[in-house]
Amino acid sequence: MLESSPNFGWPWEADQTAAQSWKRWWNNTKTVTGQTSSEMFMWYILAKTCPAIDTVLGNKTHLTKNLTLSFRNSTDEVLDIVCAELKFEDQNPSTPRLLPDATALAKDYFPEFKTWWSAIRMKCATQVQVGRHRAVALLIPGLVSHFNSPDKVSDTQWGWIGKFVSGVEQPLPSLVSPSRIKGPLDRR
């Protein structure tokens, strides 16, 4: 993908406030080895394009013949497959795209990722540690789908989001008032 993509520069450049927050979040952590911060964006792309990724993973012939990879049901292998698929699609423009091209990544996907990541950092700062980068990345497409915009998330909902991505196990009643839970098994 990188070989045939236009050079977009550092994607955080246009928003220095978000860029500084991003740098501070990753600064001096064991997690920031190699390309882990870039990998976070790849996990977001994977979650956002999940049906297309499922199609790629389910086509064993395409995986072995075109991508020269195999999928052994390992979560970590999926990012390699996503990168290989992006490269394959860029190098084979006559093949219908399943994943976004570089322009869509820069103009649509990254701005959405940055907006939600920044909102999560502002609203859940103490709960969301860098070691939970994968959980945050995987959650963002679901938040977009449900809320559309960070300003539509209530303070209470931000609290639930923070608890979820923090990885702290909480019993349901501590997150949701039992009086608000109604269901077929409710006998009150």
Q: Residue 109: pLDDT band by 50, 70, 90 thresholds?
A: very high
In tens, the pLDDT along 49-103 reads 999 999 999 999 999 999 999 999 888 899 999 999 999 999 999 999 999 999 9
In tens, the pLDDT along 18-56 reads 888 888 888 867 666 667 888 899 999 999 999 999 999
Whole-number pLDDT of residue 180:
45
Q: Which residues contact 114 (CB under 8 A, 6 or more apart)?
A: 11, 12, 15, 18
Spatial distance between the Cα atoms of 82 and 67, rounded to a whole number of angstroms: 10
In tens, the pLDDT along 124-156 reads 877 788 888 899 999 999 999 999 999 999 999
